[in-house]
Structure 1
Amino acid sequence: MTRIEVDHVSHRYGQGPLARLVLDDISVELAERRLGVVGHNGSGKSTFVRMLNALLIPSSGTVRVNGLETGKDAAKVRKQAGFLFTDPDNQIIMPTVAEDVAFGLRKSGLSRAQVAERVEQALARYGLDGHREHPAHLLSGGQKQLLALASVLITEPELIIMDEPTTLLDLRNARMIGRVIAELPQTVVLATHHLDLLDDFDRVLVFDSGRLVADGAPAEAVAHYRALMS
């Protein structure tokens, strides 16, 4: 199980008098398998989850993933922690579906045959095997998000961090991604506005104005968030 330690973390965008504080002295320890993160736009939740795999380094304080400090061991942290963006177009790199899935294994040391086998397994698992030579950017929205997820998972990270992966999807595709998330064996940290995805999670964090304002079981934390938004 992945262990995440966030110790007195604050973060600012910009410099000097125009600097904007987006996280304000966050301290929390996380070891559950399913972790939700909610908050209104601008609450700091996306900044928080991006710190968990060293996409962002805090202005002050420390973030550790399995004992590795993100500010000092960013490359090692990213090997353990995969990241899924809101818009899959931001992480689809290669022209075809199969090439994009294989891209994450380019420095793995695996043979060409081993890479091909891993790619075929990933495509079959996520229903993309019939699209292996299809132009990646011409997939549907749901298929693109599955492709982005397959491209992350093929590197076998211990932790999957997702920043609103269902926001751009219709209800059917959002539910499909939700079912995929539920079946993942890895630790998942999910930032989302689709609160129903969190019903079976172990723990939910609520952010407001850069502060962690609630932390608990899904029903309790989501009720706090709904009250906050009302």
Structure 2
Amino acid sequence: MPATDPLPDEIRLECGPVRLGGREVLAPLQLVLTERRIGILGRNGSGKTTLMRMIAGLIAPVSGQVTIGGADPFRDRKAALRSIGILFQNPDHQILFPTAEEELAFGLRQTGLPQREALARARAALAAEGRAHWAQASVSTLSGGQRQYLCLLSLLLMQPGTLLLDEPFTGLDLPTLIRLRRRLAALPQRLITIGHDGAALAGADRLIWMEAGRIAADGPPARVLPLWQAEMERQGALDADADLAG
């Protein structure tokens, strides 16, 4: 990426505990996120997805505040659209419209563009990606990887400074995964990638390991990953089935 690209807005979290269904899913947190490539690592149920949703402004902390460049993404949704976008693990949870051009135009309409201009920009974006033939194609005819790519394009059209990626490579075949990784690596935006595969997050500038709703380690991957690996091996050795007779 060009060295002249400005860093995206600083993200600040200062919040109390988050409880869902009577269970604490996140302990009190204080985080300042400034790096361009950040990984959030954790097992299922570790709190990483709840943290991601809070950063995106999809849920609000019961106490405290989340800000992106000084704006609260939960209370100021227009500012949130300009500053942050989220790519869900399953594109079918994100796509709303029957054709690719309508899906891309929808995000632009949320920023205030008229329908005619939004559709024109959507078609131009597809053409620039070598996918002009997708414009009026039914989304249902696209593969899972193609739908994931369409969701990414929808976000990029709104030009947010930060992208939140929720396990973006799950279920993709290898060629599609390589193409998506290459596209993401070239982006100037800040990428915050959520995952449970330490190796896939090894290239981050900063790695935050979540465990049972708390930050277990936070720092360069070279320091955090050995700690993560050792703990996963320890927990694997304590598997409840390990001592069962064959």
Q: Kindly indicate whether residue 96 of structure 2 is the aligned counterpart of residue 89 of structure 1.
A: no
**CA RMSD, aligned part only?**
1.9
Paired-residue identity, %: 38
Query: What pairs with 1:145-156 in structure 2 (closer than 5 Å)?
Result: 145-156=148-159
Evaluate the alpha carbon distance shift between residue 181 and residue 135 of structure 1 in structure 2; reply closer, same or farther with a 3 A threshold.
Answer: same
Q: Deviations over 1:87-108 (max 9, x none)?
A: 0001111111111111111243
Instruction: Check whether the contact 1:100–1:151 (CA below 8 A) recurs between aligned residues.
Output: yes
Letter in 2 for 1:45: K
Letter in 1 for 2:203: D
Letter in 2 for 1:10: P
Between Structure 1 and Structure 2, which shows a larger proportion of strand residues?
Answer: 1
Query: Which structure 1 residue ranges, 5 or more long, are not aligned?
Result: none
* Equivalent in the alignment of 1:57: 60
Letter in 2 for 1:13: L
Evaluate the alpha carbon distance shift between residue 183 and residue 215 of structure 1 in structure 2; reply closer, same or farther with a 3 A threshold.
Answer: same
Evaluate the alpha carbon distance shift between residue 110 and residue 75 of structure 1 in structure 2; reply closer, same or farther with a 3 A threshold.
Answer: closer
Q: Based on CA coordinates, which of the two structures has the bigger radius of gyration?
A: 2
Letter in 2 for 1:68: A
Decide which moves more: 31-40 or 220-229: 220-229
* Equivalent in the alignment of 1:172: 175
Query: Which structure 2 residue ranges, 5 or more long, are not aligned?
Result: 1-7, 234-246
Q: Deviations over 1:24-67 (max 9, x none)?
A: 01111110111111100000000001111111112232211111
* Equivalent in the alignment of 2:13: 6
Alpha-carbon distance between aligned partners in 1 of 2:168 and 2:142, rounded to the nearest angstrom = 16
Query: What pairs with 1:177-188 in structure 2 (closer than 5 Å)?
Result: 177-188=180-191
Q: Kindly indicate whether residue 70 of structure 2 is the aligned counterpart of residue 79 of structure 1.
A: no
Q: Deviations over 1:106-149 (max 9, x none)?
A: 24343556434421332134443222221112211110100011
Secondary structure, aligned partner of 2:160: coil
Letter in 1 for 2:206: R
Alpha-carbon distance between aligned partners in 2 of 1:117 and 1:31, rounded to the nearest angstrom = 34
Deviation at 1:227, TM superposition (A): 1.8
Q: Kindly indicate whether residue 125 of structure 2 is the aligned counterpart of residue 122 of structure 1.
A: yes
Alpha-carbon distance between aligned partners in 2 of 1:32 and 1:73, rounded to the nearest angstrom = 23
Deviation at 1:209, TM superposition (A): 0.3
Letter in 2 for 1:167: T
